[in-house]
């Protein structure tokens, strides 16, 4: 009788032990699946560190943005400039700010690499300030960029140079930056294919893209050699196919602006 009770007791213990093991295995599998889902697919293409995020301080501190979309540094004629998207000022600004002029609305604008927040680029003057340009006007998206002179640069990111040769249909282009939900880590690289250009818009076909594009506004769009071809802006509908494409703003308009600025100086 004691022997039978012992066997029954061992079976009960083994079942409990087996259940514990199975629960542990299931937990590990769940963690693995969650990790896989959380790891967003990015391009295998790598570049030197070039991406930055914006930090905007307003005179009304309630509007301050410690991390807001992306930007980058640009080199032209041995000068370094900071660049980001103009339409950011449609999203966050004081109600009284109606035109492309900071005046008593924005106290300071700086950028930094998300992976190293101690490094910083301090912007000086907004070079394309225009008190006649209404921020709510649709034309804001035509030349969707802000370009600043740089007061101080304490980063190690590589300033980009503008490509001057035409894009070729089907060639690979890359967006480098971080989406809104990313709070740390190295710059992400997403992959596209050049389709066509309409006015000042580069229409791209998706290859390896983020689940959500939010937060990439102002990111550089570069070619295989790391030359700047555009700035992440918005979408454009192709009138020939009625299909909407991801369409960065062409960097050609920045080049023309800087060339004109050089002449004026």
What does the mean pLDDT of the chain come to?
Answer: 87
Last residue of a domain, one of 159, 184, 217: 159
Average pLDDT in the 161-184 region? 96
Q: Which domain holds residue 114?
A: 51-159
Same domain, 152 and 225: no
What pLDDT was estimated at residue 262?
84
Same domain, 74 and 154: yes
DSSP state of 180: T
Same domain, 56 and 128: yes
10 domain-assigned = no
What pLDDT was estimated at residue 15?
56
Which of the pair, 81 or 90, is modelled with greater confidence? 81
CA 20/CA 105 separation, integer angstroms: 61
Same domain, 58 and 154: yes
CB 123 within 8 A of CB 110: yes
Give the model's confidence band at 86: pLDDT under 50 very low, under 70 low, under 90 confident, else very high: very high
195 domain-assigned = yes
**H helices then E strands: how many in the chain?**
3, 14
pTM: 0.84
User: For the chain, what is the domain count?
Assistant: 2
41 domain-assigned = no
What pLDDT was estimated at residue 5?
44
User: Which CATH number is 241's domain given?
Assistant: 2.40.10.10
Same domain, 155 and 58: yes
35 domain-assigned = no
38 domain-assigned = no
CB 99 within 8 A of CB 129: no
């Amino acid at each position: 009788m004691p022997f039978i009770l012992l066997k029954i007791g061992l079976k009960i213990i083994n079942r409990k032990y087996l259940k514990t093991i199975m629960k542990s295995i299931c937990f590990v599998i769940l963690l693995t699946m969650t990790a896989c889902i959380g790891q967003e697919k990015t391009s295998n293409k790598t570049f030197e560190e070039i991406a930055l995020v914006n930090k905007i301080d307003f005179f009304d501190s309630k509007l301050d943005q410690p991390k807001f979309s992306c930007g980058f540094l640009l080199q032209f004629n041995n000068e370094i400039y900071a660049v980001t998207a103009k339409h950011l000022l449609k999203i966050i600004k004081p109600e009284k700010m109606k035109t492309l002029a900071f005046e008593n609305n924005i106290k300071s604008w700086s950028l930094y690499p998300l992976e190293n927040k101690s490094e910083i680029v301090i912007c000086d003057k907004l070079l394309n300030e225009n008190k006649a340009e209404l921020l709510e006007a649709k034309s804001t998206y035509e030349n969707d960029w802000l370009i600043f002179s740089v007061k101080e640069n304490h980063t190690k990111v590589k300033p980009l140079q503008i490509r001057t040769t035409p894009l070729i249909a089907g060639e690979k282009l890359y967006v480098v930056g971080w989406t809104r939900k990313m709070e740390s880590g190295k710059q992400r690289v997403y992959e596209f294919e050049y389709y066509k250009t309409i006015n000042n818009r580069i229409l791209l076909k998706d290859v390896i893209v983020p689940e959500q594009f939010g937060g990439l506004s102002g990111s550089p769009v570069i070619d295989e050699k790391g030359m700047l071809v555009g700035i992440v802006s918005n979408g454009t509908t192709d009138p020939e196919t009625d299909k909407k494409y991801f369409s960065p703003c062409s960097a050609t308009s920045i080049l023309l602006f800087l060339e004109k600025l050089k002449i004026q100086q």
